[in-house]
Copies of this chain bind each other. A is one copy, B any other.
Amino acid sequence: MSETIAIIATCDTKGEEALYLKQRIESYNMKGLVVDSGILGEPVFVEPDVTKDELAGYSGFTIKELVEAGSRGAAVEKMRDCIHAYVKKLYEAGKIQGLIAIGGAEGSVIARAAMDALPLGVPKIAVSTIASGKHLFSDLIGYNDATVMHSVIDILGINSISRTVFNNAVGAIVGMAKVKPEASDKKIKSIGISMLGTTTKPIMGVIKPELEKRGYEVLTFHANGTGGDCMDTLAGEGFFAGVLDFSTNELVANNLGGLHVAKPGRMEAALEMGVPTVVAPGAANILVLSSEEALLSKYDGRRKYYHNPNITLINTTVEELKIIAATFAEKLNKATGKIRFLYPVQGFCSQDKEGLTLWNPDGNPVFLAELKKNLRQDIPIIEVDAHINDDEFANVAFEQLLEVMGVAM
C-alpha cells in the first residue's frame, strides 16, 4: 500500500495551493487526502476528500454552528477541536501516514491541532507565514516532533516563491513518510523521568545507571514547562514502561506562577493510562521566578536564592504548600495503575536543606498532612528520612519504580 498524506488547508481561500500539494504528493506515487478546514466559504480549485461538513459533523457540530459561534476566534477554536479529533481518527484507522498543513495566523491554530494529533515519529509538517520574527513556537509546535517551514511570503497562490517552498515541503513530508524504522527501534523498554538542575544528582548519579544496568533506557525530560508536557504526551502514547515524575515544580507554577508553567493536565497522562508511576515532590516547594518577577513587592520578606542572573528561587508559604499538596492529590487520585508517592523528609530540592536558604522544616510537614488528607487511601505514601538528593532517597525511588512495574530487584 502506498502512503497517504493528509493535506490540511482552508479550501475556500487556499484551494489552489491544496490542489498543488496534492498533485506534487501524487507525483511521488503517494496519495494526497485534502481535508478542508475552511469555515465560511465553499472550496475553490480543489474537491476536498474530507469536506468541512464531514469534519464538523464528526465532532457533533454543523458548519452553521461554527459560523454562528459568536466570533471568528470562537469559530476557529471549534474547528481546531474538530480537526484534532478527525486527524486522530484518520491516523488510528490507518487512513493517513503523515500530514502537511498550510496557513497563516489562524491556519497556525489548525496546523498545530492537526500535528498535535499524530504520535512521535509520524511525519508532520506545517508551512506557515508566521514561522518567523516574534511569533512563538507554541503557536505551531506542541510537545511532539512537529516540523515547521517558513513560507517566506503570504500564501496567496502558486508563484515562483511558493512553488519552491511547497516543492521542498512535499519533498520533506514524502522523505519522512518513506523512512523505514530501524531494526533497533523501540525494542528496548523506556523509562521517563522529569528532571531539573536542582534534582540532577540522584537521577544521573544513581537512578539512571541502576535502571540501565537492568536493561532499561532512561529518557530525562527537562521539567521547565515544556519537558514535563513532552513526557506526558509520550506517556499518553504508551511510550513508557514506567514513569518517575521526580521533578514536579511545574505543578507549583501551574498554581502560583513562575517560569515553569505547564499544561493544566500535567502529570495526568501516565496516571490515567495506568502506566506504573512513582512521584516525588522534587522542587515542588519553591517558586522559580524570573529575576524581575522576584522583585515584585508581593515577594517582600520571602527567602530568595539567586540561581543565576535570570532566575531567582523563592520559598513557598504554608498556605501555598496546602494548595500544592491538594493539586498533587487531585492528580494522583486519577491513577488507574500502580503508583507510589515518595516523601523526602529532609528536603525537596538542593536549597531546601538544613542550613541552606530555602530550607522549609515548617512547611513540608504541612504539605505532607494536606496530601494525606486528600489522597485516595489505596495510594501509598512512602516517607524516606533523607534529602531528595541523597543516595538513600534515590535508591528508594529506583526500587519503588521496579516495584510498581512488577519487576524483581
Residue of chain B at shortest CB distance from A168: B176
137-192 of chain A: CB within 8 A of chain B: 137-138, 141-154, 156, 159-161, 163-165, 167-168, 170-179, 181-182, 184-186, 188, 190
Does A160 contact B217, Cβ atoms closer than 8 Å? yes
Q: Give Cα distance in the complex from A217 to B156, angstroms.
A: 13
Query: Is A336 among interface residues, defined by CB-CB distance under 8 A?
Result: no
Does A147 contact B148, Cβ atoms closer than 8 Å? yes
Interface residues as binary, A42-59 with B (CB distance below 8 Å gives 1, 0 otherwise) = 000000000000000000
Q: Chain B contacts of A217 at CB under 8 A?
A: 159-160
Does B143 contact A132, Cβ atoms closer than 8 Å? yes
Q: Chain B contacts of A186 at CB under 8 A?
A: 160
Query: Is A220 among interface residues, defined by CB-CB distance under 8 A?
Result: yes
Q: Chain B contacts of A313 at CB under 8 A?
A: none
Does B173 contact A185, Cβ atoms closer than 8 Å? no
Q: Chain B contacts of A130 at CB under 8 A?
A: 137
Does A161 contact B225, Cβ atoms closer than 8 Å? no
Does A219 contact B161, Cβ atoms closer than 8 Å? yes
Residue of chain B at shortest CB distance from A224: B133
Does B178 contact A171, Cβ atoms closer than 8 Å? yes
Cβ 8 A contact of A123, one of B136, B145, B168: B168
Cβ 8 A contact of A143, one of B145, B152, B165, B184: B152
Q: What's the nearest-Cβ distance from chain B to residue A114, in Å?
A: 15
Instruction: Count copies of this chain in the complex.
Output: 2
Q: Chain B contacts of A151 at CB under 8 A?
A: 145
Query: Is A221 among interface residues, defined by CB-CB distance under 8 A?
Result: yes
Q: What's the nearest-Cβ distance from chain B to residue A349, in Å?
A: 20
Q: Give Cα distance in the complex from A338 to B87, angstroms.
A: 53
Q: What's the nearest-Cβ distance from chain B to residue A272, in Å?
A: 21
Does B132 contact A221, Cβ atoms closer than 8 Å? no
Does B184 contact A163, Cβ atoms closer than 8 Å? yes
Greatest chain B CB density within 10 A among A142, A161, A168, A171 is at A168
Q: A165-B145, A172-B172, A219-B159 are in contact. Are A132 and B137 (CB under 8 A)?
A: yes
Residue of chain B at shortest CB distance from A177: B171
Q: Chain B contacts of A184 at CB under 8 A?
A: 163
Q: Chain B contacts of A221 at CB under 8 A?
A: 153
Residue of chain B at shortest CB distance from A28: B175
Q: Give the B-binding residues of A (Cβ under 8 A).
A: 120-121, 123, 125, 130-138, 141-154, 156, 159-161, 163-165, 167-168, 170-179, 181-182, 184-186, 188, 190, 217, 219-222, 225-227, 230, 234
New A-B pairs, 9, CB < 8 Å, besides A161-B219, A171-B172: A120-B161, A132-B142, A136-B136, A144-B150, A147-B149, A152-B230, A168-B179, A174-B175, A175-B175
| Chain A to chain B contacts (Cβ below 8 Å), 22 pairs | A121-B168, A132-B138, A132-B141, A133-B138, A136-B136, A143-B152, A147-B168, A147-B172, A148-B148, A152-B230, A152-B234, A153-B221, A153-B230, A154-B220, A159-B219, A160-B190, A163-B185, A167-B181, A171-B176, A171-B178, A171-B179, A172-B172
